Structure 1
Amino acid sequence: MIGLPAKERAMSETVAEVTIFERIGGAETVDRLVEAFYRRMDTELDARRIRLMHADDLSHTKAVLKRYLTEWLGGPKLYSVEKGHPRLRQRHMGFAIASPDAEAWMLCMRGAMAETIADEAVRSHLDDTLTKLAYWMRNQPDAPEGTQTWKP
């Protein structure tokens, strides 16, 4: 704000910043995003392994992801009031996660975002951020090229 004329500085200070949550369409879009994400996890062959990391009934998992994404995207604090700090990596330590799992997760998320988020700039930003997050969640070394570490 330094360097702006007083009138412009006052105007810019009164304009509220729009959150990504608001920009994508709020809770309705987050709901559709999570539903599309798990639908892809159920149907994408490359997502079989990560689907097996989840319960057969995804109701609870979907609800948790919806609360997490709502808060993470700048919406109401629905996740932290119930669960505290996300500690995502710690919460996922019980699952063996390697690069192919991060890639499968992103395959499902990219498809879900393409289906539900119209704003390309937001989609691109979320893709970058979520890709970093997905790869940060890895807790297993990657298998040597040409080997398979699990059986479908």
Structure 2
Amino acid sequence: MNSNPADATTQADTAYERLGGEAAVRALVDRFYDLMDLEPAYAELRALHPTTLAGSRDKLFWFLCGWLGGPQYYVERFGHPRLRARHLPYPIGIKERDQWLACMDQAMQDLQLDAALVERLRAAFFNTADWMRNKGG
């Protein structure tokens, strides 16, 4: 499965660049984890994460930079992402998928990202998040 949002772009127009580069990816990741930590609507999702979110923030930031068409920080540190294999230890069903997507959607809206980019990312995030499901319901 490849739902990389940068696939349909030229090298000069990656999702990473349209988002605003490294600082914008960091802002998105930070807003995502801040919301996950604060909003009761994301409680089940938050429960799947460690008590301290610093490592999770860094890993998502590193991953998203490359996934969006920017620097391959995650691959440089850990090799191929193997997303599904890395998420197998965590029970991820429809509820967890939908909470992740809602939290990311809220983060994108809070940062007032370009509407066309949000739609493009929403579709790519859905495909990837749905692929992470490993339990029913």
2:60 pairs with 1:62: no
Residues 39-80 of structure 1: CA deviation (Å, up to 9, x unaligned): 111122221111011111111110111000001111111111
| 5+ long unaligned stretches in structure 2 | 1-9
In structure 1, what is the Cα distance between the partners aligned to 2:37 and 2:23?
21
1:100 CA drift (Å):
0.5
Residue in 2 that maps onto 1:120: 115
| 5+ long unaligned stretches in structure 1 | 1-14, 143-152
What RMSD over aligned residues (CA atoms) do the two structures have, in Å? Answer: 1.3
Larger Rg: 1
Report if aligned partners of 1:96, 1:139 keep a CA contact under 8 Å in 2. yes
Q: Which amino acid aligns with 1:140?
A: K
Q: Which amino acid aligns with 2:41?
A: D
2:44 pairs with 1:24: no
Residue in 1 that maps onto 2:106: 111
In structure 1, what is the Cα distance between the partners aligned to 2:108 and 2:62?
17
2:132 pairs with 1:133: no
Residues 8-32 of structure 1: CA deviation (Å, up to 9, x unaligned): xxxxxxx952211111110111011
Q: Which amino acid aligns with 2:73?
A: L
Report if aligned partners of 1:29, 1:117 keep a CA contact under 8 Å in 2. no
In structure 1, what is the Cα distance between the partners aligned to 2:112 and 2:86?
27
Aligned with 1:43 (options 33, 38, 58): 38
Q: Percent identity?
A: 36
Secondary structure at the counterpart of residue 79 of structure 1: helix
1:116 CA drift (Å):
2.2
TM-score (norm 1): 0.80
1:97-108 map, 5 Å:
97-108=92-103
Aligned with 2:81 (options 82, 86, 95): 86
